[in-house]
Amino acid sequence: MNSGARQECLNQLRILPCGDTALAVEFGVRIDRRLSSAVVALGQKINTAKIAGVVECVPTYRSLLVHYNPLETSGDALSAQILPLSQGESQSQEPARIWRIPACYESSLAPDLDEVAAQCGLSTQEVITRHSADRYHVYMLGFLPGFPYMGELCPELQLPRRQDPRVRVPAGAVAIATDMTSVYTYESPGGWHLIGRTPIKFFDLANTPPALLRPGDQVFFEPIPLAEFERLDAAIQRGDFTLRPVIPKGDNNDP
């Protein structure tokens, strides 16, 4: 993060109480990759510092929620320890992991693809090409365990959520809404537009940690045919395939 962006984060920084067991460290008022980088970096610093009483740090779009044990520390004491950590380098201490997610955009797995294409004035292939062309930044996890909010979707594909949410969206559904894209980690209700599906499990309690992605990660979607989807799905169910991230050497994680 350059010095100007870092100073902007510091100028807007606020530490707010959230009841008597958490603090919210706010870096700004918008969704921005630089703010997200600062949020992730502070969470890593707090975890590294092993501050007494801190239970968990939860990154969001523009703030970090710090849960603490009120029997071990107080909000005021914790604020005093967090503030100097926020003043330093606002860059992730860990290199950005890049994930290449295989995704099948066949109509049988993409119930909204044709409708999205029509609303956007594009062909279905143009929707696929645009969606798979960008590198998405993982801002936060939420809604479902491991459900990643990733952006930014190209302007040509930005649509509001569906007016009639589905009662059931299958796990692995690749979806878009507003300027975000995501993957449903479990079967659940949902109002995003479904344009494909991946066989990759984005949340698995057998793994440590169970969530595949973490805030600050970068994601590409790679189109695959239906036969490859079925092959990978079968291999994953047997436990014969594990997706690994790429960690570029010298990546400074600066968007």
pLDDT for the residue numbered 95: 73
pLDDT for 219 beyond 90: yes
Torsion angle in degrees (nearest 10) through CA of 121, 123, 124, 127: -60
The count of other CB atoms within 10 Å of the CB of residue 254 is 14
88: Cα within 13 Å, side-chain hemisphere: 13
Residue 253 pLDDT grade (very low, low, confident, very high; cuts 50, 70, 90): very low
Task: Quick: pLDDT tens for 196-211.
Answer: 999 999 999 999 999 9
Place of tokens 């302007």: 155
Among the listed ranges 97-101, 180-184, 247-251, which one has the minimum average pLDDT value? 247-251
Q: Is the peptide bond preceding residue 106 cis, with omega within 30 degrees of 0?
A: no
Q: Which residues pair with 176 in a beta bridge?
A: 181, 193
Q: Where are the alpha helices (DSSP H) in the chain?
A: 3-12, 33-49, 75-86, 113-120, 124-131, 226-238
Q: What does residue 38 show for φ and ψ, rounded to 5 degrees?
A: -65, -40
Query: What value does the mean pLDDT of the chain take?
Result: 92
pLDDT for the residue numbered 50: 95
Mean pLDDT of 172-184: 98
pLDDT for the residue numbered 96: 80
Position with higher pLDDT, 219 vs 87: 219
Structural domains in the chain, CATH included, are: 3-86 (3.30.1360.40), 98-238 (2.40.100.10)
Q: Which residues pair with 66 in a beta bridge?
A: 23, 57
The count of other CB atoms within 10 Å of the CB of residue 197 is 26
Non-local (6+) Cβ contacts of 64 within 8 A are 24, 25, 27, 39, 42, 43, 46, 57, 58
Q: Is the Cα dihedral 142, 148, 152, 156 positive or negative?
A: negative
Mean pLDDT of 219-243: 97
Residue 123 pLDDT grade (very low, low, confident, very high; cuts 50, 70, 90): very high
Residue 252 pLDDT grade (very low, low, confident, very high; cuts 50, 70, 90): very low
The count of other CB atoms within 10 Å of the CB of residue 168 is 9
Mean pLDDT of 191-197: 98
CA 117 to chain centre: 25
Pair 98, 245: CB distance under 8 Å: yes
The amino acid sitting at 29 is V
The amino acid sitting at 56 is E
Q: Which residues pair with 59 in a beta bridge?
A: 64
pLDDT for the residue numbered 103: 98
The C-alpha angle with vertex 136 and arms to 87 and 171, in degrees rounded to 5, equals: 115
> What SS3 class is residue 20?
coil
Pair 140, 60: CB distance under 8 Å: yes
Task: Quick: pLDDT tens for 39-67.
Answer: 999 999 999 999 999 999 999 999 999 99
Q: What is the pTM of this model?
A: 0.89
pLDDT for the residue numbered 93: 63
Pair 53, 73: CB distance under 8 Å: yes
